[in-house]
Amino acid sequence: MHRTPTRRSPLPPTREATGRRRLIAGCIAVAALLGLTACGTASGALQPTATASAPTQQQPTGTGAATIAPTPGSDAAGSGPAARPAATTPRTPAGSTTTGSATTGSATTGGAQGQSQSQAPATGTPAAPPAHPGPATKVIGSTASGGRTVALTFDDGPGPATGQILDLLAQYHVKATFCEIGQNAAANPALVKRVLAEGHRLCDHSVHHPQPFEKLPHDKAVYEISAARDMIVKAGGPGTRISWFRAPGGGFNADNEHIAAGLGMDSLGWSVDPRDWSRPGVPAIVSTVQSQLKPGGVILMHDGGGDRSQTVAALKQLLPWLVTQGYTFDFPAA
């Protein structure tokens, strides 16, 4: 009789299958645990890493985008453990320069640190002071000592009449203030030096005498005041001091007053104006001074800017009159 063999299911394959299933289950558990750890790392605080990361790619400051530090093998979106939240990248305060590993990387050095350096003050020539619109508030119109004193001031020189006026002042032992045009001072340095040598003082009266001076743009006003000062100082020589600035036509405002103050000069006005520049006649010049002058006053006259023969003639009458009236001569307040 033919006997059909009986098929057996040996135990070892069953044990192998069981072991295989356990191994697979264990791998799945480990993989799940690793995945949870990776997700927790990406979404939470970044753990310290001992390996050096690739150069930081930083979005422009102020965009609010996260800073991503990709590692080899990470995708372009920066997903997975390599994704660094923006909170982990220190911000450099505007206007400061921070050193150390957090801010000296390739991207930060060219960004926040570079921006900080560009905001630092430039060395060399100081920047022009900012504009200060509004009316002037500190224009001087009196003498330094007050009382029965008077300050003589002469504008628009040095010019052909300056020497004659200096001769008259020396005759009466009078000291005065000369408000000089920058280009005239540069053209007549000998007269500037004589003014200083005889004990008189200097005042800045702009480079070109533009009017209305108070309407000048800020940069133009800076040039007219600062360049004139430089020209007068150069003409006067070492040690030349300029204590005042007088705006052409009295065109003061807060801006040019602020510019002058930044250069160490007070703004100088006047209290008596005989309008000698218009050549109204010697009697008119004399009578205006005599009627308008009060103790402590500042008289405005001119030694340049045109024919000043009437001014010289009027001064020949005014100087002895002032002396007989008991006035002494002073400089403007400062």
Beta bridge partners of 295: none
With a CB cutoff of 8 Å and minimum separation 6, the contacts of 152 are: 169, 174, 176, 177, 299, 301, 329
Is the omega angle on the peptide bond into residue 121 within 30 degrees of 0, that is, cis?
Answer: no
What tokens were used for 125? 């020539």
Q: Which two tokens stand for residue 87?
A: 């909170």
Query: Within the chain, where are the H helices?
Result: 11-43, 106-108, 114-118, 162-171, 182-187, 189-197, 218-236, 254-262, 282-292, 309-324
Residues designated as active site: 155, 302
d(CA 224, CA 149): 31
Q: What does the radius of gyration of the chain's CA atoms come to, in whole angstroms?
A: 42
